[in-house]
Amino acid sequence: MLAELGHFSLVLALLMAILLAIYPLWGAQRGSATLMATARPLAIGVFLFTAFAYFCLSWAFFENDFTVAYVAHNSNTLLPWYYRLTAVWGGHEGSFLLWVLIFSVWTVAVAVFSSSIPREFLARVLGILGLVGVGFYLYMLLASNPFERLLPFFPVDGRDLNPLLQDFGMIIHPPLLYMGYVGFSVVFAFAIAALIAGRLDSTWARWSRPWTLAAWIFLTLGIALGSWWAYKELGWGGWWFWDPVENASFMPWLVGTALLHSLAVTEKRKVFKSWTVLLAISAFCLSLLGTFLVRSGILVSVHSFASDPTRGLFILALLMLVIGGSLLLYALRAPQLRSIGRYQLVSREMMLIGNNILLSAATLVVLLGTLLPLVHKELGLGSISVGAPFFDQMFVYLTVPFVFLLAMGPLSRWKQQSTSALGRHLLMAFGISVSAALLIGLGSDSFSYMATLGLVLSIWILVATVQEVRQRIAGSGEMFAGIKQLTPSHWGMVLGHLGFAVMIIGIAMVTSYSQERDVRMAPGDSIELAGYTFQLQGVEPLRGPNYTGHVAIMDIYANGKKLNHLEAEKRFYTVQRSVMTEAAIDVGLTRDLYVALGEQLNNGAWALRVYVKPFIRWIWAGALLMAIGGCLSLSDKRYRMAKLAHKASTSEKPQMGKASAMGEIKRADV
Amino acid sequence: MNPRRKQRLLAVSAVLVVVAGAIGLMLYALGQNIDLFYTPSEIVQGKKGVKPQVGQRLRVGGMVVEGSVRRDPDSLAVNFDLVDTGPMITVSYQGILPDLFREGQGIVATGYLTQAKHIEAEEVLAKHDEEYMPPELAEAMKGIKHVKPSEAGYQKE
């Protein structure tokens, strides 16, 4: 019964979305306050009905209602209750329901937190979100209904959740990632609304900045979590595989990062307007493309869901509609967008152009590498695959100039920067980073070019960031007063950049100094790797709620002292009849010790995989720092001051003047 | 030319140079990292008349022949045969095979062709699914159904 109610509730949500797509947009066009006022209640309605549908499906999982096909395919009575609840997004249909739920959460958030935005503009934004929502809800109801029943013949027990997904990382990874993906639909809606209104001014940039930041923070955390989960769950010890689905989440992130920077320029300097709009549109289109790649079954990857041609076609049509429609609107309106600001060759604007070009180039590289195998196959040229070395190589080439500009950007002034002052700073940063990296590199046992390059890059960022902060606080005379004066959004930038530096160290160290050995071991055997001794104590049978298996007990010694005791498991999930490796990891700030149990060999011996991964935690720590930086920026009073200022005066001119004057004052002490 | 135009020209040409360089580099790197996919019979008989060269890097997908997996008693070296509809080839691998590697099941291996019918694999993949058969292989083996009887009737579709 509840399943039918859930289905019905989804239909109602679709109806609400249709109304949301019509009334407010129409009202904004005609200037009718009554019609525009429908936007907020409709948005809340969409959310409530979706939330109820989500609750119904969760309940079906909790109660083990195997008459619902989706529950029967993704759950089992032996599954612990918390995994039963997270199994809701363990398959295609349910994860799309989560997607839609998150979409409605964003819509409600826009409706609730945008009281400062003129109601005409808000009505348009919500209307566009409604329009996008219609596409999502139609897709769900027509092509992937999670409430379908298996009646009258339903199974006694379910087929269990994919064992890969029975993990804590999986509980939070998809919701975070979806928050990021879907968050870009808000940014998209703001851009389209501004295009319709024909008013792409810096107020638009200021309004969409916090939403972009929020979506970007979620996406950053989601991707980092996914990487961490793959590292510990897939048992290969890798943290990034250039898997098509990883790429699908990485592309919106790259474009989103470019968008964050270009929005800053549009807000502060009123330039790059049309480019910023284009980025906002592409970020969302790439999110949709990701969905298409994952859900159409067109790609083979660890993430892909069961293939069904209708699903693929539907998303492809939606994708075409969104891309075509928004680009058409863009083409019609873009000529009207004139940038007023002027700037010189050496200026912060130019650095940020460089940032945007490099990030777009990186997106293109990933897009090409991901889609080329598809295109090749569709053209009948045979199956190919693009290897990870391609991406690795390209990203090294792109990261070096990117980091070079990253240090220069914050040190430069808007409009024009004196070359000699910048040169002095850079020379110092260059000297410090190269000599420090060389000292560290030569001091270590084995010299590696890649690791040294990584060190140079991250120390370069570090030194330049410190210089920039000092430059900012120098004017106020006393150090603490100066530090206090810095805004949270400035600290956000500093943390974001430092996070990137930390991540580069992690990546450079892991790729250069990782050591791995696949070994054959019998109980009592021990091996030596990077100064650690791994001794296999024994392999014992294992019994879990819905699996059986073996556990290898491994003691680790360093310099004759026992360091840790690891238990690496090999599980056999009885219902899905699949084998899973649960790696055991000794976590450390400067190295991870990683043990994974392989297959059983003859005479009691086992195959084991042992890794020493230096600095791997730094990769995720860097991502976390970036996300914290994003949160700091988000907490900046500026976004709320804009609200107050707006309430005080309805015209934007004085407000803008004030903001840029404030910017000038801040820069004046340089 | 007035200075502003000159500056613009400079900026635009700089961008063009960077873009052209980037695309060139990208295509070069791409050309070196594309792995073509073959089935065992395509390696032996050629794919559309073209046989892969010895020493070439490639991907091969096939079913592991029952009873062909031979492990070295002292190390992790392993040999097994792959087949689709025609002749077999042999794959050598050093290391731990994936969890779902079984005889009679479909796998994909990436590596180098060292002799006409022998591949040194760097990576062996088996999907986390018992019924898995690489789609390229399923296509090459059209007509051979790989559906478990227990599957029929369970799912609605």
How far apart are the C-alpha atoms of B68 and B60, rounded to whole Å? 17
- Asked if B17 reaches chain A (Cβ–Cβ under 8 Å), the answer is no
A528 has pLDDT over 70: yes
* Mean local confidence (pLDDT), A76-102: 90
Task: Name the residue among A155, A365, A579 with its Cβ closest to that of B99.
Answer: A579
Q: What is the pLDDT of residue B151?
A: 39
CA distance A205 to chain B (A): 25
Burial degree of A542 (CB within 10 A; 0-12, 13-18, 19+):
middle
Q: Is A537 helix (H, G, I), strand (E, B) or coil?
A: strand
Q: Which residue on chain A is closest to B128 by alpha carbon?
A: A578
- The per-residue pLDDT for A476 is 63
Residue B30 lies inside a defined structural domain of this protein: yes
Cβ distance A382 to B36 less than 8 Å, yes or no, reads yes
- How many angstroms separate the most distant Cα atoms in chain A? 83
Write out chain B residues lying below 8 Å of A350, CB-based: 11
Interface contacts A/B by beta carbons within 8 Å: 106
Helix (H, G, I), strand (E, B) or coil at B150: helix
Radius of gyration of chain A (CA): 27
Per CB-CB distance under 8 Å, the chain B contacts of A271 are: none
Q: Do B8 and B51 belong to one domain?
A: no
Q: How far apart are CA A493 and CA A505, in angstroms?
A: 19
Which of A236-240, A319-323, A428-432, A609-613 is predicted least confidently?
A236-240
DSSP state of A238: -
B132 is in an annotated binding site: yes
Residue with structure tokens 């001014």? A201
Mutation target for B interface from A599, A603, A611: give the one with most B CBs within 10 A.
A599
* Of residues A97 and A652, more confidently modeled: A97
Please give the average per-residue pLDDT across A373-388, as a whole number.
Answer: 79
Tell me which of B7 and A397 has the higher pLDDT.
A397
pLDDT average, residue stretch A401-417: 88
pLDDT band at A663 (very low <50, low <70, confident <90, very high): very low
β-partners of residue B125 are B108
CA nearest to B93 within chain A: A518
- Tell me, yes or no, whether B98 and B23 share the same domain: no
Same domain, B30 and B107: no
What average pLDDT score do residues A417-428 get?
A: 85
**Within a domain: B153:** no
Give residue-wise pLDDT tens across range A457-505: 999 999 999 988 888 887 666 667 777 778 888 999 999 999 999 999 9
Three-state secondary-structure class, residue A36: helix
Residue A307 DSSP code: P
Whether residue B26 sits in one domain with residue B52: no
**A622, A620, A630, A553: which is closest to A592 by C-alpha?**
A620
Res. A656: pLDDT tops 50: no
Give CA B1 to chain center in angstroms: 55
Could you tell me if B17 and B54 lie in one domain?
Answer: no
Please name the member of A345, A385, A520 whose beta carbon is closest to the beta carbon of B76.
A520
Q: Is B154 within 8 Å of chain A by CB?
A: yes
Inform me whether the pLDDT recorded for A669 exceeds 60: no
B152 found inside a domain:
no
Strands A532-543 and A561-573: unpaired
Residues in chain B within 8 Å Cβ distance of A369: 30
Beta bridge pairs of residue B62:
B107
Rounded CA gap, A622 and A501, in Å?
7
Q: Which residue of A has its CA nearest to B151?
A: A159
B73 to chain A: which residues are within 8 Å by CB?
A: 602
pLDDT of B147 > 50? The answer is no
Residue A74 predicted with pLDDT over 90:
no
B55 and B83 both lie in a single domain: yes
| pLDDT tens sequence across A637-654 | 777 645 545 544 444 343
Chain A stretch 560-589, residues whose beta carbon is closer than 8 A to a beta carbon of chain B: 570, 577-581
Rounded CA gap, A121 and A29, in Å?
10
- Measured between beta carbons, the chain A residues lying within 8 angstroms of B129 are 578
pLDDT at B34: 82
Pick the residue with more confidence: B105 or A213?
A: A213
Residue B133 pLDDT > 70, yes or no?
no
Q: Parallel, antiparallel, or unpaired for β A532-543 and A547-558?
A: antiparallel
Residue to substitute from A385, A518, A572, A580, interface B, most B β-carbons within 10 A: A385
* Beta carbons of A602 and B73 less than 8 Å apart: yes
Phi-psi region of A113 (alpha: psi -120 to 50; beta: other; left: phi over 0): alpha
- Spatial separation of the C-alpha atoms in residues A135 and A314, rounded to whole Å: 9
Disruptive mutation site among B15, B28, B93, B99 for chain A (greatest number of A CBs within 10 Å) = B99
Query: Within 13 Å, how many C-alpha atoms sit on residue A285's CB side?
Result: 20
Q: Which helix (H) or strand (E) holds A69?
A: helix A69-74
So what's the ipTM on this one?
0.71
Q: Which residues contact B38 (CB under 8 A, 6 or more apart)?
A: B47, B52, B58, B59, B60, B61
Residues 6+ apart with CB under 8 A from B111: B57, B58, B60, B91, B93, B119, B120, B121, B122, B123
In a domain, B150, yes or no: no
Considering A244-248, B71-75, B136-140, the range whose residues carry the highest mean pLDDT is A244-248
CATH of the domain spanning A515-615, picked from 3.40.91, 2.60.98, 3.40.50, 3.30.70? 2.60.98
CB A36 within 8 A of CB A53: no
Q: Is residue B42 part of a domain?
A: yes
C-beta pairs of A451-454 under 8 Å, 24+ apart in sequence:
A451/A508, A451/A509, A451/A512, A451/A513, A453/A396, A453/A400, A453/A508, A454/A504, A454/A505, A454/A507, A454/A508, A454/A509, A454/A512
B128 among annotated binding-site residues? yes
Q: pLDDT tens for residues A618-630?
A: 999 999 999 999 9
Residue A244 contacts B, CB cutoff 8 Å: no
The CB-based long-range contact list for A137-142 (8 Å cut-off, 24+ gap) reads A137/A10, A137/A13, A137/A14, A137/A17, A137/A100, A138/A14, A139/A96, A139/A311, A139/A314, A139/A315, A139/A318, A140/A10, A140/A93, A140/A96, A140/A97, A140/A100, A141/A10, A141/A11, A141/A14, A142/A314
Buried-state track A569-578, b at ≥16 Cβ within 10 A, e below 16: bbbbbebbeb
Q: Is B148 on the interface with A (CB under 8 A)?
A: no
pLDDT, tens only, B43-92: 888 877 778 888 888 888 888 888 888 888 878 889 999 988 888 999 99
Considering the domain architecture, whether residues B118 and B74 belong to the same structural domain is answered as yes
Q: How far is B83 from chain A (nearest CA, A)?
A: 18
User: What CA–CA distances, in Å, run from A239 to A228, A362, A617?
Assistant: 6, 19, 10
Alpha-carbon gap, residue A24 to A26, rounded angstroms: 5
The Cβ of residue A265 has, within 10 Å, a number of other Cβ atoms equal to: 27
- Please report, as a single letter, which amino acid is at residue B46: G
Query: Token digits for A599?
Result: 């297959």
CA distances (Å), A200 to each of A283, A349, B54, in order?
A: 18, 19, 59
Distance of CA A122 to the CA centre of its chain: 26
In angstroms, rounded to a whole number, what is the distance separating the alpha carbons of residues B66 and A422?
68
User: Does B35 contact A599 at a Cβ distance shorter than 8 Å?
Assistant: no
Q: What is the mean pLDDT of residues A447-465?
A: 91
Strand partners, A68: A149
Q: List residues bridging with B70 in a β-sheet.
A: B79
**pLDDT tens sequence across A553-596:** 999 998 888 888 899 998 888 887 778 888 899 999 999 999 99
Do both B73 and B106 map to the same domain? yes
Sheet holding A515-521, edge to edge: A515-521, A606-614, A591-600, A584-586
Burial class for A72, CB neighbours closer than 10 Å (0-12, 13-18, 19+): buried
Same domain for B18 and B44: no
Residue given tokens 């019918």 in the structure block: B117
How many domains, chain B?
2
Give the mean pLDDT of A328-336. Answer: 86
**Per-residue model confidence (pLDDT) at position A640:** 64
* Structure confidence by residue, pLDDT tens digits, A279-290: 999 999 999 988
Q: How far apart are CA A272 and CA A283, in angstroms?
A: 16
Torsion sign (Cα): A387, A217, A98, A579 = positive
Residue A581 CB contacts under 8 Å (≥ 6 apart), including other chains? A234, A235, A568, A569, A570, A571, A596, A597, A598, B99
Cβ–Cβ under 8 Å, residues A216 and A260: yes
Closest by CA to A485, choosing from A469, A461, A467, is A469
Q: Which residues of A touch B48 (CB under 8 A)?
A: 382
Tell me which CATH code domain A167-340+349-360 carries.
1.20.120
Q: Which two tokens stand for residue A150?
A: 């298996």
Q: How confident is the model at residue B134 (pLDDT cuts 50, 70, 90)?
A: low
Least CB-CB distance to B35: which of A163, A302, A385? A385
- Residue B43 and residue B118 in one domain: yes
> Once rounded to an integer, what is the mean pLDDT over residues B12-28?
82
> Which pair of tokens denotes residue A552?
């290898």
The CA distance from A62 to A79, in Å, is: 10
Domain that holds residue B9: 1-34
Question: What pLDDT score was predicted for residue B131?
Answer: 46
- Burial class from Cβ neighbours inside 10 Å (0-12, 13-18, 19+) for residue A282 reads buried
- Contact (CB, 8 A) for A415 and A349: yes
The predicted pLDDT at position A11 comes to 96
The mean of the pLDDT values for chain B is 77
**Closest-CA residue of chain B to A308:** B157
Q: State the smallest CA–CA distance between residue A627 and chain B in angstroms.
A: 30
Residue owning tokens 């604007």: A349
Do A300 and B134 lie within an 8 Å CB cutoff? yes
Tell me: do B56 and B110 sit in the same domain.
yes
Q: How far is CA A148 from the centre of its chain?
A: 31
B108 has a pLDDT exceeding 60: yes
- By mean pLDDT, which of A383-387, B39-43, B66-70, B116-120 is the weakest? A383-387
A155 touches chain B (CB under 8 A): yes
Decide if B155 is inside a domain: no
CATH number at residue B75: 2.40.50.140
**Domain map (residue ranges) of chain A:** 1-160, 167-340+349-360, 391-513+618-668, 515-615
Encode A284-306: b = buried (16+ Cβ within 10 Å), e = exposed.
Answer: bbbbbbbbbbbbbbbbbebbbbe
